[in-house]
Amino acid sequence: MNNSIFCPSLYIQGEDEQSSKIALKLTKAKDRFVVRITGGCGYMNQEDASGLNELFEKSFEGFSGAMLFGGTRMIKKGSQNEIVPSITEIAPLVRKKNNNSVVLGVVPKTDDLYLSEYGLIVCSEESSDYVTIIHPEQDICLMVQKSVDQNSLWEAEYKECIKIIDSLRKYADWKSLLISYNGGGVTEKEILKTAELGWPVLLIKNSGRKTDEYAENKRFLERYPNVLVCEKNYRAIRNVLKKIGAIPSELKKEIFHTKLFAINGGSQ
């Protein structure tokens, strides 16, 4: 496996800028498919976070595209080894298991940055029992800021991801999918914006909070047929991923094994 995942490249960009270099780095992925994962972080409860990593690890077996996520990790204060469960742990996990994929984290500069024993801290609130750092296990990290003196809002993350996906779809003929699990107000904004753009959206039912709210909203689903809903199990998620081409279908695997069988002269 490429060990560069443990030493991400870090780029800093203004909110009104757009980097062609970042998009080009994503095209190193084997397949022209980009998945954006959004959802719950610090406010996700224990029940909704239970089994989260295993769910997505199984769902994305065989993934060879690019993945966009909020490139941070939350660590409990006073313990460098205790990671807080979050949707931001999913993309690096998928990357570890799938060598042909590429992962890009997008992080808004919401406060001054500083180094500590936890890593590069991007947010540490006195009222919170965790610190938020740059996730160390990603290929590329893009930090977005208004300026050196002005901080960005957390929603700058999803806005930048939409810009990147739009470029890949328009100029490189890529397909895309937004997957939403749990999440609050910022997740809601991203669901609505992506739905309005007509791009595919997958809502994981029973994952909690805003994702559940829209997964059960019949009027919303009727208005946006590009929004799909599936149960919170890996078979249901894989079925959707196969149908839209994010991972190989069983038919493609069967063709591969048939060709391999022929190359080996019919021997197994």
What are the pLDDT digits (tens) for 85-112? 999 999 999 999 999 999 999 999 999 9
Whether 138 contacts 37, CB under 8 Å? no
pTM (predicted TM-score): 0.89
Residue by residue, DSSP assigns 20-59 as HHHHHHHTTSSSSEEEEEEE-STT--HHHHTTHHHHHHHH
- Range from 28-37, 42-51, 155-164, 184-193 carrying the lowest mean pLDDT: 42-51
Q: What is the mean pLDDT of residues 39-44?
A: 87
pLDDT tens for 24-36 read 889 999 999 999 9
Domains of the chain (ranges, CATH numbers)? 3-109+135-263 (3.40.50.450)
Phi/psi region, residue 32 (left: phi>0; alpha: psi -120 to 50; beta: rest), is: beta
